[in-house]
Structure 1
Amino acid sequence: MRIVDKLKQAEESGTPYFSFEYFPPKTEQGLVNLYDRIERMGRTGPAFVAVTWGAGGATAQRTLELSDSCQGIFGLDALMHITCTNMDREKVDKALAGARSAGVRNILALRGDAPRGDEFWSACSGGFTHAVDLVRYVRETHGDYFCIGVAGYPEGHSECTNLDTDLEYLAEKVRAGADFVVSQLVYDADVFIEWLRKCRAIGIDCPVIPGVLPVQSYQSFRRLIHLTKVLVPEPLRQALEDVRANDQAVKDLGVEHAVATIRKLQAAGVRGVHITTLNLENTVMRVLSALGLGSESRPPRSVTEPSGVPSAWDDFPNGRWGDARSPAFGNLGSYVSTYGTAMQKFGSGASVWGEPTEISDITEIFVNYVEGSLASLPWSDEPLLAETQKIKEELVRVNQLGFWTLASQPALDGAASDDVTYGWGPRGGYIYQKAFVECFVHQSLFPGFLSRLQNASPRITYYASNGAGDFISNAVGAQGDAATALTWGVFPGRAVVQPTLIDKMNFLAWRTEAFHSWAEWADMFPRGSPQERFLREMAEKCWLVNVVDNEYRNPDTIWNMFQ
């Protein structure tokens, strides 16, 4: 069914409605478990479910598969995202043809972000410059078959400094054929209400749905705000700072604020709300339950997923080094690329990381990042976390030697769970961590490095792979892949929690993304340029290596591997 027809029916009858947004998981097991969640959450009666789209069609097949399943298996109207970023007309035609073949009739047409590291957004050859161009193209080529949604920005798009001009751009998208609008995240109801009034005043009379993302964890929320620059009311920001080391308190605060925001929107006559789930379930269900929305708006009674995987998936939402079986395994990239970010700009030219043509240039970039004079990398949108200060001296040395670190953590032996730097989980618990380092290693250094790893104490486990798919590890044997807990917590009244694991499945999932980032970086430069050729050469000549020291009480051995 065309989503706009459902929305208009709800608006005319005064019936509250809601929708969910999901992203395609990185692993097959994560996708299978997400289907379990969508089936349960679908029973609450969402007006539709949205599925995000990776830049340049990076998740095209999985996005289409997920959208198809939402409709064909679960009976939910799917809203499939499509972005302009790195998408020429041929790719757009293929995506739209796939949607039609699957019976998906609803599209969210977005421009998307500039590719990571670009200072400014630009269309690819044969592509689209603005979302309005994509809207017009869909209408010209498919008529009224597709119901088209577009994004709106209550605080203004990051690249538009005039709110009135930004509103006119939105009106132009509606005039070009958009049927409804989904807004960027809303944490201040008053901002959205005033923006909606202005939308109506200039003739935007289609359904406009506010986007809401309940705070799931302090770190994910902090990163989201860093990337999107969404306005956060000071009381919420301060309250989160006060409970940042208590995961349950953060979730409770997230539910409380989301419920209060939606109630205020409803009181102002806003009927619908679009909930970004980040593929998590419990917090979203608590919000629906508090609002009395949905036919089954209750938190799940079971403490485990149907597959038997602990509910720590939701209790301690996973970052990259989470459980690869989790539907939420991955990062925020699938969300932030949907509605646009405002990356900080460093330097000038095409890249915020200069124009590398030699190995020493790469080394300098990584050293500058670890030392703090560079705030991002092609593999990381943020500065290093505070906990890294504990191993900063070693990280600088390692990078100076040419081991380019992408991720790391220090060892911990019973830090208090309410420690402002290292803590997580309920109060009264203790946190443990194994030291680990993940890095790119050039092929000239790799044989000697591998030899040291292979001859090291059994306490050292490692995974290594190159872009061609070669894989070496001492953690995968005759008994299969052994998952290694990198972080765990001991809390009163509950079993030991292991929210952060490393195994072959999640290492290889990240391997694909890590090597793809070399290509994205290379694409920022003209084809055939020295920079472009050099970066593609690095992707071919590097290994990605993850090293874990399983002796968390005396972790010095790990640093002896880097010589």
Structure 2
Amino acid sequence: MKLSEKISARGQSRPFYTFEFFPPRTNQGFENLVARISRLATLDPLAISVTWGAGGSTKDRSLELAGITQSHPYNLDTILHLTCTNMQEGLIDDVLKSVKDKGIENLLALRGDPPRGKEEWIPSDPRFTHAVDLVRYIRSVPEYSSHFCIGVAGYPDGHPDTSLDEEVEIANLKAKVDAGADFIITQLFYDVEQFIRWVKKVREAGITVPIIPGVMPIQTYATFARLTKLCGTTVPQDLEEALKPLKHDDRLVKDFGVEYAIDMIQKIHAAGDIQGFHFCTLNLEKSVQRVLEGLRWTGVSQGSPNKLIADLPAPLGESGLLITPTSAASTATSGLVSLTNKSKTEQGKGELNNAATWDDFPNGRFGDFKSPAFGNQDPWGGSGIARSDVNPDWGNPKSCEDLTRMFTNYLESQIATTPFSDGPLCPESVTILPQLKKLTERGWWTVGSQPAVDAVSSADPIFGWGPRSGWVFQKAFVEFFCDKKDADAIEKYIADNGKGWVHYFMANDKGDLRGNVPGEGRNAVTWGIFPGSEIAQSTIIERESFITWKEEAFSTWRGWASLYPPGSQERHVLETVANERWLVSIIHHDYREPDSLWTFVFDKELGF
């Protein structure tokens, strides 16, 4: 059913809500997301939406997920996001036909990420440069015009890629509605007063279609900081101040995020006009459920077709891990996550936890690869580079020496970010700063690491995480980019000298993968022991997550390269790095000896 018709039929009887999901990167995550959507469907959303990666990068997965949720036995009215810029010519026509054939009646028409650095190597359809072009086109084609209900985006804090006056942006929004849009879903925001003022101006401009505000409960401080920056979201000063003392305690941040979302929604609903809310779930479920319970909006209506969902069996493979980030996971020295494999009969026992616990702690960019939220660095499928011009801190690299200088400057706190880190070096990484600098100056650009830790209090301000009154442990690991000659030397050196204490993965952008981790083995490199709780293994390095991280890491190089014009020296250097360098991850299992990894790596045989 069309969303506009459902909203109209609902009237002012009670508030409604919709849930947004993105296609997971792995087959296991995809399978488990379907089960998660099944559970969330018992909360009776008016519809769900499925995001569309930049330039159609998640086309097949997005269409597959939307087709599943729209069809029997799920029967969830599904809104498919569809972007129009930087798309291959003819792709939109193919997608519209496929979407209609799947019985999907709702679209969210978006401009999408603009071409960066005049990306002439990606052909685009000249008919579509803005969302309004997509709306007009759909309404102009008889077979689609009456079939689809079309939504468009609104930007209460302004569009992240423009510096237009608010009046101009509202005029652009009206143009989209006049072209045939039926509803508006807004970009996420946290300034309620600004939103209410914006809604008033939108109504004064003659826009009468339903406005559905986008709400993203704060899950972790790192995710909040990253996505508000990516979306150009205004963060009220009182919110920033309230988060400061909490940001290193994941439980407190999540609890605060739930309460803040409840307060936002209550204020917006009390102001009138707004009857529905769009939850940006990040493929997580607990916070959304807690918000709706706090609002007393939960409960399945009698006769709702969604009640069927509750009785559906979960797909095979539905199991979970207690995911808890170390401080390293939110910096340039980012972590990986997973843990020791168990047989199917042991899933949910011992160290492993039920799928419901996936949300207890954030997955981060390297959560358990079976989690629906695995790899949520950018749920819209972007490169990880913010939608902005080149950061001046990164300079204009014309050689590998320039890149070494940039990474070194970051380690020395002379610059605050790199394309691989959106914040300063964390205190944990500072404890191994000399080692990271030595590697970087060697031309091995570090992008992930953590020191060895043996039974440190979980309340420790640098290494602590999770519940208080516990103990945390870490194995040292380091990740970096190096050339093939050095990668070959590292592989041989580990084979000759590792003696079972050292594991590694290494890969290039062409898909060549090497490693000495046996079979389906997983290396738990961070774990915690807490009173009355299972052992929580939070950071794990294993094949599947390393491959996914490798793809993201090399796409970051290419995304950075695309910010420079074709033919420029900067673009050539960055594309050469993406084509020729290897990403290497090395783990040392002796966590009781702080210098074990570094003593091993800094050997004269490797050129140190």
TM-score by length of 1: 0.89
Amino acid at match of 2:465: W
Residue pairs, 1:316-395, within 5 angstroms: 316-335=361-380, 343=388, 346-347=391-392, 353-395=394-436
Q: Counterpart of 1:171?
A: 174
Contact 1:85 1:124 in 2 (8 A): no
Quote how far apart the aligned CAs of 1:152 are.
0.8
1:233 aligned to which of 231, 236, 251 = 236
Partner-residue secondary structure (3-state), 2:364: coil
**Contact 1:154 1:191 survives alignment (8 Å):** yes
Larger mean CA deviation between 526-535 and 427-436 belongs to 526-535
Q: Give the structure 1 partner of residue 578 of structure 2.
A: 539
Going from structure 1 to structure 2, the CA distance change for 1:336 and 1:186 (only over 3 Å counts) comes to farther
Q: Is the 8 A contact 1:312 1:497 kept in 2?
A: no
CA contact (8 A) 1:245 1:419 kept: no
Q: In the TM superposition, what is the alpha-carbon distance from 1:181 to its structure 2 partner?
A: 0.7
CA distance in 1, matches of 2:7, 2:112: 25
Cα deviation, residue 121, structure 1: 13
State the alpha-carbon separation in 2 of the partners of residues 229 and 44 from structure 1.
30
Aligned counterparts of 1:334 and 1:253: Cα–Cα separation in 2: 22
Q: Which moved further from structure 2: 448-457 or 168-177?
A: 448-457
Aligned residue for 2:366, secondary structure, equals coil
More off after superposition, 282-291 vs 81-90 = 81-90
Does the C-alpha gap of structure 1 residues 494 and 111 become closer, same or farther in structure 2, counting only changes over 3 Å? same
> Structure 1, residues 493-539: CA drift from partner, whole Å, max 9, x if none?
21111122211111112222223333334444444555444443333
What secondary structure sits across from 2:90 in the alignment?
Answer: helix
Instruction: Choose the corresponding residue for 1:314, options 344, 356, 359.
Output: 359
Show CA shifts across 1:335-392 (max 9, x none): 5969x96647533xxxx74554433233233323333344444444444334222222
* Structure 1 segment 119-130 matched on structure 2, within 5 A: 125-127=124-126, 128-130=128-130
**Matching of residues 58-207 of structure 1 within 5 Å:** 58-73=57-72, 74-114=74-114, 125-127=124-126, 128-141=128-141, 142-158=144-160, 159-207=162-210
Match of 2:293 in 1: 289
Separation in structure 1 between the aligned mates of residue 277 and residue 119 of structure 2, nearest angstrom: 31
Please, which of 477, 485, 500 is the counterpart of residue 436 of structure 1? Answer: 477
Aligned twin of 1:276: 280
Give the equivalent residue in structure 2 for 1:485: 524
- Is residue 262 of structure 2 the alignment partner of residue 259 of structure 1? yes
Mapped partners of 2:9, 2:200: distance in 1 = 21
The whole-number CA distance in structure 1 between the counterparts of 2:252 and 2:524 is 25
CA distance in 1 between partners of 2:403 and 2:552 (Å): 19
**Where does the alignment leave 5 or more consecutive residues of structure 1 unmatched?**
none
Consecutive unaligned residues of structure 2, counting only runs of 5 or more, are 302-309, 321-352, 603-607
**Are residues 291 and 69 of structure 1, via their aligned partners in 2, closer, same or farther at CA, if it must alter by over 3 Å?**
same
**1:404 paired residue among 425, 439, 445:** 445
Aligned twin of 1:51: 50
**Distance (Å, rounded) in 2 between the aligned partners of 1:154 and 1:415:** 45
Identify the match of residue 496 of structure 1 among 522, 528, 535: 535
Which of 516, 533, 551 does residue 555 from structure 2 map onto? Answer: 516
Structure 1 residue 462 corresponds to structure 2 residue 507: no
Deviation at 1:463, TM superposition (A): 0.8
Deviations 1:176-228 (A, max 9, x none): 22211111113232222221111111111001001111111232223223333
Q: 3-state DSSP class of the match of 2:256?
A: helix
- Deviation of 1:457 (Å): 4.0
The answer for the alignment partner of 2:306 in structure 1 is: none
Q: Percent identity?
A: 42
> For the residues of structure 2 that align with 1:115 and 1:557, how far apart are their CA atoms?
46
CA contact 1:488–1:496 (8 Å) conserved in 2: yes
Kindly state the Cα deviation for residue 103 of structure 1 after the two structures are TM-superposed: 2.1
Is 1:471 the counterpart of 2:513 in the alignment? yes
Report the 3-state secondary structure (helix = DSSP H, G, I; strand = E; otherwise coil) of the residue aligned with 1:89: coil
Q: What TM-score, normalized to structure 2? A: 0.83
Residues of 1 paired with 2:120 and 2:150: CA distance? 23
- 8 Å contact 1:182–1:274 — kept in the other structure? yes
Distance in 2 of aligned mates of 1:462 and 1:521 = 27
SS at match of 1:13: coil
2:360 partner letter = D
**Aligned with 1:444: secondary structure?**
helix
**Secondary structure at 1:502 match in 2:** strand
Q: Matches of 1:20 and 1:72 in 2, distance apart? A: 17
Q: Describe the SS at the equivalent of 1:280.
A: coil
Q: Does the CA-based 8 Å contact 1:113-1:341 persist in structure 2?
A: no
Check conservation: 1:489, 1:496, Cα contact below 8 A.
Answer: yes
Q: What is the aligned length?
A: 549
Confirm whether residue 446 of structure 1 aligns to residue 487 of structure 2: yes
Would the alpha carbon gap of residues 386 and 168 (structure 1) be closer, same or farther in structure 2, given more than 3 Å must change?
farther
Between stretches 35-44 and 514-523, larger displacement belongs to 514-523
The structural deviation recorded for 1:279 is 0.7
Q: Distance in 2 between matches of 1:417 and 1:2?
A: 50
Rounded to whole Å, the distance in 2 between the matches of 1:369 and 1:175 is 48
- Match of 1:316, as an amino acid? F
Q: Which residue number in structure 2 is paired with residue 417 of structure 1?
A: 458
Q: Secondary structure of 2:244's partner?
A: helix
Q: Which residue of 1 aligns with 2:605?
A: none
- Is the aligned partner of 1:561 residue 2:563? no
Q: Residues 96 and 393 (structure 1 numbering): CA distance in 2 closer, same or farther, change over 3 Å?
A: farther
**Separation in structure 1 between the aligned mates of residue 239 and residue 565 of structure 2, nearest angstrom:** 45
Question: SS state of the match for residue 481, structure 1?
Answer: coil
2:431 counterpart SS class: helix
Instruction: Give, as a single letter, the amino acid of the residue that structure 1 aligns with 2:515.
Output: S
**Using the alignment, how far apart are the partners of 1:40 and 1:166 within structure 2?**
38
SS of residue in 1 equivalent to 2:372: coil
Query: Measured at CA, do residues 534 and 336 of structure 1 come closer, stay the same or move farther in structure 2, by a change above 3 Å?
Result: closer
Distance 2:408 2:139 in 1: 49
Check 1:132–1:123 CA distance in 2 against 1; reply closer, same or farther (3 A cut): farther
Q: Structure 2: how far apart are the matches of 1:51 and 1:358?
A: 41
Letter in 2 for 1:91: L
Which moves more between the two structures, 190-199 or 377-386?
377-386
Tell me the CA shift for residue 144 of structure 1: 3.1
* Structure 1 range deviating more: 158-167 or 543-552: 158-167
What is the SS of the residue equivalent to 1:156?
Answer: coil
Distance 2:564 2:294 in 1: 51
Structure 2 Cα separation of the partners of residues 363 and 44 of structure 1: 51
Letter in 2 for 1:464: M
**Alignment partner of 1:22 is 2:64:** no
* Matched-pair contact (CA < 8 Å) for 1:549–1:555: no
Would the aligned equivalents of 2:54 and 2:380 in 1 still touch at CA under 8 Å?
no
**In structure 2, C-alpha distance between the alignment counterparts of 1:20 and 1:122, rounded to whole Å:** 35
Contact preservation (8 Å) 2:453, 2:594: no
CA–CA distance in 2 between the matches of 1:207 and 1:123? 36
Give the distance between the partners of 1:534 and 1:234, measured in 2 at CA. 40
